[in-house]
Amino acid sequence: METFNPDAKKFIELRDFIQNVKNYEEAKKGFKWPRLTKFNWATDYFDKIAYKNTKPALIYADNDGNELIKTFEQMRSRSNQVANFLSDLGLQKGDRVMIMMDTSVEIYELFLGIMKLGGVIIPASTLLSPTDISDRIKRGNISLFIAHHKYKDKVDKAGEVLHQLKAMVCVKHINQECNLQNDETDALWTIYDETNKYPDEYESNFITFTTDIMFMFFTSGTTSKPKLVIHPYHYPVGHLTTMYWLDLQKNDIHYNISSPGWAKFAWSSFITPWNAEATIFTYHYNAFDADKTLDLIEKYKISSLCGPLTVWKLFIIRDLKKYKFNLKKIVSAGEPLNPEVSNKVKELLGLDLREGYGQTETTAVIFTPKGMKVPEGSMGKVSPGYEIAIMDDQLNPVPPGEDGQIAIATYPVKPLGLLKGYDDENRNNDIFKGSWYLTGDTAYVDKDSFVYFIGRADDVFKSLDYRISPFEVESEIMEHHAVLEVGVIPTIDHRDRIVPKAFIVLKPDYIPNKQMALEIFRFIRNNMSPYKRPRSIEFMEAFPKTISSKVMRKDLRAYDKELKQNNKRGKFEFLELDFIEELNIRKRN
């Protein structure tokens, strides 16, 4: 193993402490954030542990039967080639790179390569529309755009904004090619295979300061446009809290079920396992298949598994006892964990399903660590390195058992896993108050310091592991000519998944009927990204509103919950599945 620089040594020392700590009390007492100045995780840490290391760093599989196993040394040398390639394309320290790719070996090479150049990684969901892509390029001030070939046509439709980029890189899938034509748009693209021509050693000629920007994640809130969450180069150090929650060790094979366009992928499919020097398993599929996924968990001897509640719901209706799993630790994140699901998983697997809470803006903040017994309904306790308070609207701490907003202390030490800020100073003024970061989530704490999640203060909800902003969805539906008002809430579909539902008030000249529902569904499918598309709509004469004319979504949620409990539909409620032929929907059970 090569020699670490002073700041990397501090990181390693804290990593070793938290990997070997005996219990939560010891971890909470002994965990202290290091003071770091110059640290690049890719060059100062990863390259050092990877040098001549023949242990598998990454196992890739896909639903076509392909398998690739890459050692730490192979990832080091390939990411060096990528860094040299991107440098030749003009990428410099501080330049922003947007990546729209499925999980693949190449995305890991790119993450490392961009970091080695001091670049800024901005993941993008593959479900974005051309309009979304154009908006993100402009607002993110993107220099390079990298995409898998299957998304190239969608990127090309983003328009003139593409000409502001230094370059675009087309990455092929296994057994496919990036076929570029001699037209004006294709002239902007470079093929990723060109990386093979570059040297597999790289040496930087600049200093990476821990305050330099490393990751920027687009997310949605209560405003009409997504915000950019900014994390600096000490972000991987912040994920030592995530590593402690997962209890990852060097001999683990860890699988996190998440898509690359979201922060959770960076959390648990990239940074955290390699913080622990564990092996990452990643699986590329076109549509999630619970049975196939379980087969792979058994085949590849996955020892550590992280998945959202939706996935665990699908798993527990299978015959899990027929598998010979190597699972040792399992966790759930992204949606509040249902006690019935936890109990069923324990019955079937004999393992505790441990919950974790964090945000795009943070690392793991509240969770159940290994060995801790928690009361039913609790997420666990506050992570080492974080201090929280439950506060009222005046930022006064509330007593145990009383609901309030989760606030994270930023003084005397700001946690290294906490965001630097948003790209919006007005929003920064809202979330940073005094010595606190306000999460926008509500919870309560009991007398024994166990934390219980209540919900999001701004009505944002998770659907199939995607974060949905009602305001953003409502704004897009409002563009339909017949729509007067829209209110979006989470509901449960026929497969017991959380999906968006849109309540709609039509303009006076329009009639709520099946034909109008079909017209709006067509509009939604043609103009919205699939992950945030409402699967049901219900016409109403008027909305319940506050005195200030804000739609009372909690009343809409209560009404919808009553319908579901009585197994009824609203008088003018229509589902996408009512129009299988008209909308060309592939029906799934």
Question: How far is the C-alpha of 524 from the C-alpha of 144, rounded, in Å?
Answer: 30
**In terms of domains, do 216 and 309 share one?**
yes
Residue 151's SS3 state is: helix
My answer on whether 175 and 134 are in the same domain is: yes
Range of the domain at 173: 6-441
- Considering the domain boundaries, does residue 454 fall inside one? no
Residue 542 sits in the same domain as residue 412: no
Answer for the pair 451, 443: CB distance below 8 angstroms, yes or no.
yes
Residues 405 and 487 in one domain: no
Residue 391 lies in a domain: yes
Average predicted confidence (pLDDT) for the chain: 91
Interior/surface letters 49-69, b for 16+ CB within 10 angstroms, e for the rest: bbeebeebbbbbbbeeeeeee
Query: Does 407 share its domain with 477?
Result: no
The pLDDT > 90 percentage for the chain reads 73
Q: Write out pLDDT tens, residues 304-319.
A: 999 987 788 889 888 8
- pLDDT at position 270 is 98
Q: Are residues 572 and 423 part of one domain? A: no
Q: How many domains, in total, are found in the chain?
A: 2
pLDDT at 116 over 90: yes
* 255, part of any domain: yes
Please check whether residue 447 lies inside any domain of the structure: no
In which element (H, E) is residue 148 found? Answer: strand 144-148
Please report whether residue 459 resides in a domain.
Answer: no
For residue 453, being part of any structural domain is answered with no
- 462 belongs to a structural domain: no
52 pLDDT tier (thresholds 50, 70, 90): very high
Task: Write the DSSP symbol of residue 3.
Answer: P
Same domain, 427 and 542: no
Tell me if 483 sits within 8 A of 520, measured CB to CB. yes
Buried-exposed string 295-308: b where 16+ CB fall within 10 A, e elsewhere: ebbeebebbbbbbb
By 3-state DSSP, what share of the chain in percent is helix, strand and coil, each rounded to 5? 35, 25, 40
pTM above 0.85, yes or no: no
Q: Tens digits of per-residue pLDDT, 459-508?
A: 667 787 776 767 678 878 988 989 888 888 999 888 888 899 999 989 88
